[in-house]
Amino acid sequence: MAKNNLPNPRISETQYDDHTVIVPPNRLKSFVSRTGDSMEIATDPIARAETAFNQIKKEFRGWMNAECDALEAVRGEIREKGQTAALIEQLFNSAHDIIGHADVFGYPLAGKIADSLCQLITHAPDAKRIPMALIDAHVDAVRAVVREGVHEADDRTGNEIYRRLGKLIRGYVAKSSATAGDLASLPNVTAPKL
């Protein structure tokens, strides 16, 4: 185990009937420095981190393509082997990765469409018999957003595709036990056309 350069902790414990309150010393306090009388917190590290973050932005397109590759690879396996529980879970996880990363990488619509795919899997009446066309439509739409370099969350075409996917999902799960509330985060299909 690596040697820690912090002092040995002194722990105070107070026993109660059904629990113990433990107050370990704040060992990280030794990493806080103070200059002058001000108790303001330095914010310049945020600006420096944002600058550092901007330096790697040029790599995001490649990273997003890698995410699309992973999603398409699972789709390919599903086509080949059928909709097994394990593969559908992999598809969900790949789509979920995109939800978490798309905004950071500058493709917010890809994240929304990936979220739509996750909702499709979650609310499908039978998760092993999801219409392949619906899966394809989502996977292809995510790729298209990245290929076309759609970075704006309010892109008209992208949002129209997203809305149509939502409408397709609503139609598909209409016979399932999903309630309207379960699908509340999907796009409103009655929204006025752009």
- Contact residues: another protein, CB under 8 A: 1-6, 9, 12-14, 16, 18-29, 31-36, 38-43, 45-46, 48-53, 55-56, 63, 66, 93, 96-97, 99-105
- Nearer to another protein (CB atom), residue 42 or residue 174: 42
Reported as type and span, the H/E element at residue 20 is strand 20-23
Beta bridge partner(s), residue 129: none
Token pair recorded at residue 156: 């008209």
Locus of tokens 């598809």: 91
- Nearer to another protein (CB atom), residue 1 or residue 174: 1
- Nearer to another protein (CB atom), residue 6 or residue 132: 6
We find the least distance from the C-beta atom of residue 47 to another protein, in angstroms, to be 8
We find the least distance from the C-beta atom of residue 4 to another protein, in angstroms, to be 5
DSSP state of 46: H
- Nearer to another protein (CB atom), residue 84 or residue 131: 84
Instruction: Please say whether the dihedral angle defined by the alpha carbons of residues 136, 141, 147 and 148, taken in this order, is positive or negative.
Output: positive
We find the least distance from the C-beta atom of residue 68 to another protein, in angstroms, to be 13
Q: 62, 61, 71: which is closest to 92 by C-alpha?
A: 71
We find the least distance from the C-beta atom of residue 80 to another protein, in angstroms, to be 22
Q: 148, 143, 90: which is closest to 113 by C-alpha?
A: 143
